[in-house]
Amino acid sequence: MTTHGVSGSEGEGFRNAQTCFGFEAEFTADLRCIPMAVRRKLDLAGVKLKLVHWNGLTAAERQLLLAWPDGSAAVAELHLWLLARTAQQTAGVARTLPIACQESWQQQQQTPPAVHRACSDQGVLLSNPTWAGLSELQRFALVKLSQGGHEHRNLPLALAEFGVTAGVAAS
């Protein structure tokens, strides 16, 4: 197993890659659920890690995944490591997915319609410049929290944490 350190070239992206948000604190203190930062890396690596896989990892391995850099070479290594590691689990090897490329959360120019609607439902108008000012990890979180079928329980908490409450939508 390779361990990863912070290199100077990873800078801001690496710090964001390790972030657990305040709205996740209820379940990330002990890493019993997969944090958004890890979920983003899984999308970048093209791996569908089920909660049973996550729970089959040691606490040290979960911390390792949270600290894993998200540069392209590191993400390719993560893909291989996760497939090898989960192959040892009773749940079997994790499924592979298409690697995230040009996803809505990777685009800075325009707020995705589903995010715009979910924010509007919360009374918040998320402008394109505000969307562009968010980190990729913050955009990823908002996209995931805005998906259909999601109860949006953490969306208002995320919006407040990201400082996206000033543009209140008219009712």
**What pLDDT digit, counting tens, does each position of 124-158 carry?**
999 999 999 999 999 999 999 998 766 668 999 99
Q: What was the pLDDT predicted at 68?
A: 95
Bin 100: left if φ > 0, else alpha if -120 < ψ < 50, else beta: beta
Residue 132 and residue 60 share a domain: no
**What pLDDT sits at residue 148?**
72
Domain total of the chain: 2
Same domain for 117 and 45: no
Of 170, 168, 104, nearest to 142 by C-alpha is 104
Q: Does residue 170 form part of some domain?
A: no
On whether both 66 and 111 belong to a single domain, the answer is no
Q: Where does the pLDDT of residue 165 fall: very low under 50, low under 70, confident under 90, or very high at 90 and above? A: confident
The verdict on 111 and 83 lying in the same domain is no
Cβ neighbour number for residue 35 with a 10 Å cutoff: 22
- Is 24 in the same domain as 44? yes
The CA angle 98-99-100, to the nearest 5 degrees, is 110
pTM of the full structure:
0.85
Residue 171 within a domain:
no
Residue 9's pLDDT is: 35
pLDDT above 90: residue 27? no
DSSP 14-69: HHHHT---GGGHHHHTTT-S--HHHHHHHHHHTEE--HHHHHTS-HHHHHHHHH--
- Say yes or no: 115 and 70 in one domain: no
pLDDT at 170 over 60: no
Whether residue 121 lies inside any domain: the answer is: yes
Residue 21 belongs to some domain of the structure: yes
Q: Which pLDDT tens digit goes with each residue over 44-103? A: 999 999 999 999 999 999 999 999 998 999 999 999 999 999 999 999 999 999 999 999
Query: Does residue 115 fall inside a structural domain?
Result: yes
- Does the residue 25 lie in any domain? yes
Which residue range(s) make up the domain with 114?
104-161
Which residue, 66, 96, 126, sits at the end of a domain?
96
Q: Give the tens place of pLDDT for each residue, 102-113.
A: 999 999 999 999
DSSP, residue by residue, 97-148: -PPP-S-GGG--SS--HHHHHHHHHTTB---HHHHHHS-HHHHHHHHHHHST
Is residue 6 in some structural domain? no
- Would you call 30 exposed, middle or buried from its count of C-beta atoms within 10 A (0-12, 13-18, 19+)? exposed
Question: Does 89 share its domain with 48?
Answer: yes
pLDDT at 17: 56
Regarding whether 112 and 82 lie in a shared domain, the answer is no
- Does 166 reside within a domain? no
132 and 67 in a common domain = no
Q: What is the pLDDT of residue 1?
A: 40
Q: Give residue 2's pLDDT band: very low, low, confident or very high (50, 70, 90).
A: very low
Helix axes 136-146, 36-45, angle to 10 degrees: 100
Domain shared by 78 and 31, yes or no: yes
